[in-house]
Structure 1
C-alpha cells in the first residue's frame, strides 16, 4: 500500500487559473496542480525563486476528488496603473504618517491621469463559489523526492502536515482574495490508489458541508495515477516548470465519475 497526504480545500470563493488571453481570466473547474503545489510551498515558506526546493515539490503525484464544483461567478475587475514617472518618484520613499501615504496616493493618481499611456486595466475574472475538494498527494516511485532540500526536519511526506497546520505564509485558494473557510485537516492515509486513501480520510464539519453537497449526484476524481475504471485520459497544462517565470508544461490525468453513494474503492 502507498501513503497519501490528504487534505480538504473549501472557501467562499476559489479560482484556479486557466490559460488567459487578453483581459479574460478564466478558471478551471477544479484545483490545478500548480495552485496546490503553490499552496504547499507557501506553507513551507518557499518563495517562487527558490527553484531547487520547488523542483522537489513538482515531483509529487497529484489527485483530487471534487465533492462539489461550486457555482461559477464572474467579476468585472479594474486596476489603476500609475505612470512610470510616478513609480520612479515614489520608489524608496518612507512614509511616517497616514497623511503622507494619502498625499502620495493623490500624487500618483494625478501623474497617471496626465500620462497618455496610463489608465485602468480592465479584466473579467471567474471564481467558483462554495466549492469543496479533497486533495491527495503522494510520492512517485519513479521520481524520488529529496525531502531534506525542503526542510531539514522533513524526512518523508508526513513531515508536511505540521506546516499545513501552521503555515509560514498565508494560504489561499488560487488568488489572494480567496482565503480558506475551513482548516485543511491534513492527514496521512494508506491505500492501493488515491480513491481508497481519499475515502478513508475523516474530516470535521461534515454535517455543515452536507448542505453544499446534498444536491450533487456524482463525485469526480482527477488523478495523475492510472485509476481503476477510469473513463477518460485528459491533458492539462498545469505542471509547473518555473514558478518565478510562470512556465508550465502538459501532464496527463485520469478521470473517473462515480454516482454518489456508490463510491467503491477498487
Structure 2
C-alpha cells in the first residue's frame, strides 16, 4: 500500500551498444553528452507510459534524477554524405509560395551530416518521486506502450532495464547498488585491483545548490514546439560495491615488510 507523502526510487540500468544523449543540435550535427540527460530519461519514461508527445510532463519533469557512470564507453562519430542520385542540386529548408521546397542557392550537390554516439556505455539512473507514481512508472518500463530508446530511436536498451524500486534517498540508492559494468570490464578491473569489494564511480546528482546549470528539463515534447527549462546539478564520486570476491593473495602476509599493511590494503 502506498501513501501520498512517501517517496521511492526507481533504478534504471541504461546500457546498450549505442546511446546518444543530446541537449543541443545544429542543422547537420547531432552531438551527445557523456551521460544521460534528464530530457532523455523523461522521454524514455513517457514512452513507456504511452504518453503522446503533446501530453503534459509536469509530474515526470519534477522527479529527482541521479546518474552514476558505471562504464563511460567511448565516442563514435557516424559520418554521412547525402546527394541526389539524379545529379540534381539538393533542396533547401526554405519553401516557395506554393509550399514547395526551393533548391539550394548556390546549388549544393552534397550534404554532410554527423551523428555522435556513446558506444559500450553503462549508466545507473536513479529516479526519485512519489511512491505511487514511481510504482506506475516501474510497471510501465517493464511493460512499455511505445518502444524505448537510449536518447535516440535507433538506440534500444539491453536488459535488464529496470532494477526495481528502492527506499531511502536517491544518493543512498546509487551508493548501495552493485557495479553494473559489463562482465568483461569488471573481470579486467578485478584482475588489476585484486577483486576489491568497492569502487569509486563518478555521479551527477540534482541539487538546488549545485554549481552546474543544465538546460535539459523538458517542458514539452510537442512536434515543432519542443521547449526546455534548467536545473542545477553537482558532481561527486560514490563508493559502490563491485560484487567481486576479494583476492586473498593480495592480503596474504608473506613475512616481508608491507608498507600498506597498516592501511588494510
Matched, 1:27 2:9: no
Q: Which residue of 2 aligns with 1:67?
A: 70
Q: Deviations over 1:23-62 (max 9, x none)?
A: 2211110000000000000101111111x2x222111111
Structure 1 CA distance for aligned equivalents of residues 81 and 126 of structure 2: 36
Q: Which residue of 1 aligns with 2:174?
A: 198
Structure 2 CA distance for aligned equivalents of residues 218 and 48 of structure 1: 38
TM-score by length of 1: 0.69
Structure 2 CA distance for aligned equivalents of residues 235 and 172 of structure 1: 25
Matched pairs, number:
215
Structure 1 residues 259 and 25, CA gap change in structure 2 (3 angstroms): same
Structure 1 residues 121 and 249, CA gap change in structure 2 (3 angstroms): farther
DSSP 3-state at the match of 2:62: coil
Which residue of 226, 241, 248 maps to 2:219?
A: 241
Alignment RMSD: 3.3
User: Following TM superposition, by how much is the alpha carbon of 1:197 offset from its aligned partner in structure 2, in angstroms?
Assistant: 1.0
**Structure 2 spans left out of the alignment, 5+ residues:** 1-5, 92-102, 194-198, 243-265
TM-score by length of 2: 0.69
User: Contact conserved, 2:83 with 2:90, CA < 8 A, in 1?
Assistant: no
Give the number of the structure with larger relative contact order, counting CA–CA contacts within 8 Å between residues 6 or more apart: 1
Q: Which residue of 2 aligns with 1:43?
A: 48
User: Following TM superposition, by how much is the alpha carbon of 1:131 offset from its aligned partner in structure 2, in angstroms?
Assistant: 0.5
User: Following TM superposition, by how much is the alpha carbon of 1:4 offset from its aligned partner in structure 2, in angstroms?
Assistant: 0.7
User: Contact conserved, 1:164 with 1:186, CA < 8 A, in 2?
Assistant: no
Larger radius of gyration: 2
Q: Which residue of 2 aligns with 1:89?
A: none
User: Contact conserved, 1:16 with 1:30, CA < 8 A, in 2?
Assistant: yes
Q: Which residue of 2 aligns with 1:151?
A: none
DSSP 3-state at the match of 2:149: coil
Q: Which residue of 1 aligns with 2:164?
A: 187
Structure 1 residues 138 and 218, CA gap change in structure 2 (3 angstroms): same
DSSP 3-state at the match of 1:162: helix
Structure 2 CA distance for aligned equivalents of residues 172 and 199 of structure 1: 25
Q: Which residue of 1 aligns with 2:125?
A: 135
Q: Which has the higher helix share?
A: 1
User: Following TM superposition, by how much is the alpha carbon of 1:185 offset from its aligned partner in structure 2, in angstroms?
Assistant: 2.7
